[in-house]
Amino acid sequence: MNISRGPGQAPKYQRLAADLRRRIMGGEWQGGTPLPVESELENQYGVARNTVRLAVDVLVNEGLLVRVQGKGTYLKDHPVLDHHAYRAPSDPELGSPGTSLRSAFAAYAEEAAAAGRKLTSDFQMLIVRATTDITDRLRIEPGEAVVLRRMLRYMDGEPWSVEESHYPVGLAASTALMAPDPVVGGDEMALADAGYLETGCVDELCARMPNPEEAQWFQAGPGVPLLVQLRTGYTESGPVRVTETRYSADRNRLIYSLGSLGGLDAPSVRSAEVFSEIGDLGAPAEI
Amino acid sequence: MNISRGPGQAPKYQRLAADLRRRIMGGEWQGGTPLPVESELENQYGVARNTVRLAVDVLVNEGLLVRVQGKGTYLKDHPVLDHHAYRAPSDPELGSPGTSLRSAFAAYAEEAAAAGRKLTSDFQMLIVRATTDITDRLRIEPGEAVVLRRMLRYMDGEPWSVEESHYPVGLAASTALMAPDPVVGGDEMALADAGYLETGCVDELCARMPNPEEAQWFQAGPGVPLLVQLRTGYTESGPVRVTETRYSADRNRLIYSLGSLGGLDAPSVRSAEVFSEIGDLGAPAEI
DNA sequence: GGTGATTTGTGCGTATGTATT
DNA sequence: TAATACATACGCACAAATCAC
């Protein structure tokens, strides 16, 4: 197939990308199978190598392909793991119906085990001056010191997610949260022991591309965004902690069970699915 | 400043990108201010234009910069709008404490108005064969027909989010959901009128890069992921609808108020904040 | 309204480096 | 070691969009 650029047409590399996308979606290559090498694509389409690379760049940045130097270019496959970020108290799958928050790590590890995978973690405890992101939510003074408890999570040894919990130093002072080790039973148990029973939380969710440090840690190539959950935990008398968790979005999905599910099981849906296939939306309205 | 490549160093374009990132983070240019033009950067750093473009590509794909043909390259600014995806019934800001779900559009429009912005929408109603994404969650047969009600939302005329609600045809048949118009009071009211009172839902959240159609509709350049919310609504007797909402992640944040917040206001936090600044994570563990 | 200068976008060619097989 | 395949880097030319005049 030869691509020649006519007037009014999209650029070559974009049409090449579109054609490759079509062939990919058509199942011409399976996950893990290499695409034709760049020189082969040059010949197939009769374009310069630069143009091939521009086209493949597009698909890499969409998260469809991954390039490996010296080997080839491959379809990316998406084994997605669900993580239950919240279960309503009425949810029957919840062990203790009275509490809405469980030991996060234990629950996460159970989910991983259920999927036949092994969750491990590294732990760091630091005392830092909080940014306004944190102080605003904790309702403390800007620049005030907070206890930062960081959990680096690995799935089968692969970097998976980063959780950073921030506590006001005054609050954490007399608790197990000052120890440079994970609290058995979870941080929320240490909080509860100190009289701070978390009764609710506010989650703020966003997605963005990783910065270089994050990309390196997550081993996330181009086209892989982060899913960021910022949870502020509340007692009856106010906020007590802010937890920011970052997930590599191509491997993770967050689940919230809300309200009453009427005694039904949570839906069991295959994990590998991707929601896509937008129909024709028409042109966007002019601004 | 001249960048010369030594052995064992990172490639020129990556170090150039890192230096530009440093200057950007250092506040050398403000949001909306153009960066030096490519030829200027060639001279400043003593590299080929290609190298400059590779470096800028990196930052564009991180969502830091945006290029405008014929004008220049600019810092992207991030006016983020919060959207309350869920409020716990005990949340005092909820108008009617008995129901956990409000008319989504009305609530959304109120939030927008509170931020001094205007939410508009287009509406489409289609009957389509559902994908397994949908049928699995609705517990109907694969390929069964569903009513697809699509809401295209614009903020101040700018493409903002796409909401697609799917209902089993049998369920929707005798309701206002078959009409090719938005239901006053919201779809959930039409459902309730037909005896299907939604008592809970399960939200599945993920993020990914947009496909070409989505990127075009959202006018999302490289480096802008989508935040996707897939909500399955339940009555006491089972699921009745699946709603997929796609947000341009650089402009939106989803908020979930969960559990009891003890009569406290939802936290009022400036919208423009970005959570970033990962500390040193150390090297990831080997696989 | 048109013209030219500026700036990014597209496309080609070539050469060499680096990782994998 | 050699071949293969992607990565980096240089150069050049022209197209297309924007803006100042």
Tens of pLDDT, residue by residue over B144-161, are: 999 999 999 998 888 899
Q: Which two tokens stand for residue A181?
A: 């080790």
Q: For residue B198, give the nearest of B270, B276, B99 by alpha carbon.
A: B99
User: Quick one: pLDDT band at residue A101, thresholds 50, 70, 90?
Assistant: very low
CA of A226, C1' of C10: distance in angstroms: 31
Per-residue CA distances from A96 to A46, A88, A135, B199 (Å): 64, 11, 32, 21
Give the single-character DSSP code of A162. E
- Longest distance between any two alpha carbons in chain A, whole Å: 73
**Vertex A228: Cα angle to B91 and B150 (nearest 5):** 70
Q: How confident is the model at residue B90 (pLDDT cuts 50, 70, 90)?
A: low
Q: Which residues contact A86 (CB under 8 A, 6 or more apart)?
A: A100, A201, A203, A255, A256, A257, A258, B256, B258
Q: How far apart are CA B223 and CA B209, in angstroms?
A: 8
Is the CB of B259 less than 8 angstroms away from the CB of A204? no
Query: What pLDDT is stored for residue A217 in this prediction?
Result: 87
**Residue B119 pLDDT greater than 60, yes or no:** yes
| pLDDT recorded at residue B279 | 41
Q: How far apart are CA A73 and CA A203, in angstroms?
A: 38
Q: Diameter of chain B by CA atoms?
A: 73
pLDDT of residue B219: 82
Would you say the C-alpha torsion A85, A90, A91, A94 has a positive or negative sign?
Answer: positive
At residue B98, the pLDDT reads: 38
pLDDT tens per residue across span B182-203: 988 888 889 988 899 988 999 9
pLDDT surpasses 90 at A139: yes
Separation between Cα atoms, residue B144 and residue B132, nearest integer Å? 9
8 Å CB contact of B202 and A234? no
Residue B266 pLDDT more than 80? no
Question: Looking at B134-143, B178-187, B248-257, B271-280, which range is the least confident one?
Answer: B271-280
Beta bridge partners of B31: none
Which residues from A are below 8 Å from B206, CB to CB? 80, 227, 249, 252-254, 275
Arithmetic mean of pLDDT, B39-56: 93
B228: nearest CB among A152, A237, A275: A275
Q: H-helix or E-strand containing A241?
A: strand A238-248
The set of strand C positions with any atom below 7 Å of a protein CB reads 6-15, 17-21
The minimum CA-CA distance between A44 and chain B, rounded to whole Å, is 23
Q: What is the pLDDT of residue A228?
A: 97
Residue A222 pLDDT grade (very low, low, confident, very high; cuts 50, 70, 90): confident
Total CB pairs under 8 A between chain A and B:
266
Helix (H), strand (E) at residue A22: helix A12-25
Please give the pLDDT value at position A270: 41
Q: Is B8 exposed, middle or buried (0-12, 13-18, 19+ CB in 10 A)?
A: exposed
Compute the radius of gyration of chain A from its Cα atoms.
23
CA distances from B204 to A86, A87, A177, A215, B252 (A): 11, 12, 31, 24, 17
- Mean pLDDT confidence for A218-241: 91
pLDDT band at B102 (very low <50, low <70, confident <90, very high): low
Nearest to A239 by CA among A198, A180, A189: A198
Provide the CB-side half-sphere exposure for B268 (13 A, CA). 6
Per-residue confidence band for B96, with pLDDT thresholds at 50, 70 and 90: very low
CA distances from B128 to A246, B144, B148, B180 (A): 36, 8, 7, 14
The answer to whether the Cβ–Cβ distance between A259 and B100 falls below 8 Å is yes
Helix (H, G, I), strand (E, B) or coil at B32: coil
For residue range A232-259, list pLDDT tens digits in order: 999 988 999 999 999 999 889 999 999 8
Partner-chain contact B101 A137, CB within 8 Å: no
Q: Which of A196-200, A274-278, B121-125 has the lowest mean pLDDT?
A: A274-278
Lowest-confidence pick of B36-50, B67-81, B211-225: B211-225
Q: CA A44 → C1' C5, Å?
A: 40
Q: How confident is the model at residue A108 (pLDDT cuts 50, 70, 90)?
A: confident
What is each CA distance from A73 to A4, A34, B209, in whole angstroms?
24, 5, 19
Q: Is the pLDDT of residue B264 over 70?
A: no
Q: What are the pLDDT digits (tens) for B50-84?
A: 999 999 999 999 889 999 999 999 998 877 899 99
CA angle B213/B148/B81 to nearest 5° reads 60
- Whether residue B287 is predicted with pLDDT greater than 50 in this model: the reply is no
Distance between CA atoms of residues B196 and B213, nearest Å: 34
Bridge partners of B137, per DSSP, are none
Distance between CA atoms of residues A3 and A1, nearest Å:
7
Is pLDDT above 50 for B5?
no
Calculate the dihedral angle through the C-alpha atoms of A25, A29, A32, A37, rounding to the nearest 10 degrees: -110
pLDDT of B263 reads: 57
- At residue B134's C-alpha, the angle toward residues A89 and B182, to 5°, is 90
pLDDT higher than threshold 80 for residue B286: no
CA to C1' distance (Å), from A70 to D2: 14
Whole-number Å distance, CA B6 to C1' C16?
15
pLDDT at residue A203 is higher than 70: yes
pLDDT in tens, A3-59: 444 545 778 898 899 889 889 888 888 877 888 998 889 988 989 988 999 899 989
pLDDT at A264 over 70: no
- Whether B35 sits with its Cβ under 7 A from any strand C atom: the answer reads yes
Residues of chain A with CATH 1.10.10.10: 12-77
Where, residue-wise, is CATH 3.40.1410.10 in chain A? 81-264
- C-alpha separations of B222 from A209, B42, B111, B218 in Å: 10, 23, 28, 11
Rounded mean pLDDT, B6-24 = 84
Which token pair is A52?
Answer: 């091939």
Among A62, A162, A210, whose Cβ lies nearest the Cβ of B209?
Answer: A62
Mean per-residue pLDDT over chain A, rounded: 82
**3-state SS assignment for residue B122:** strand
CB-CB neighbors (< 8 A) of B217 in chain A? 278, 281, 284
C-beta separation of A150 from A162 below 8 A: yes
Q: Which residue has the tokens 């490289």?
A: B222
Q: Using the predicted structure, report yes or no on whether residue A283 has a pLDDT greater than 60.
A: no
According to the CATH classification, is domain B12-77 in 3.30.1300.10?
no
Mean pLDDT over all residues of chain B? 83
Could you tell me where the beta strands, DSSP code E, fall in chain B? Answer: 65-68, 72-75, 81-87, 119-129, 145-155, 158-168, 200-208, 226-235, 238-248, 252-259
Indicate the pLDDT class of residue A201, thresholds 50, 70 and 90: very high
What CATH code is assigned to A81-264? Answer: 3.40.1410.10
Residue B58: partners with Cβ closer than 8 Å, 6 or more residues away:
B13, B14, B17
Contact list, B57 vs chain A (CB under 8 Å) = 57
pLDDT at A119 over 60: yes
| φ and ψ of A110, to 5 deg | -65, -45
In the predicted structure, residue A275 carries a pLDDT above the cut 70: no
Q: What is the distance in angstroms measured between the alpha-carbon CA of B50 and the sugar C1' of C2?
A: 33
Cβ-contact A262, B202 below 8 angstroms: no
Nucleotides of D under 7 A from a protein CB: 4-13, 16-19
What per-residue confidence (pLDDT) applies to A102? 52
Under a CB-based contact definition with an 8 Å cutoff, are residues A153 and A162 in contact?
A: yes
Most confident range (mean pLDDT) of B4-18, B34-48, B254-268 is: B34-48
| Burial class of residue A111 (count of CB atoms within 10 Å of its CB; 0-12, 13-18, 19+) | middle
Under an 8 A CB cutoff, do A152 and B101 touch? no
Contact (CB<8Å) B232/A82: no
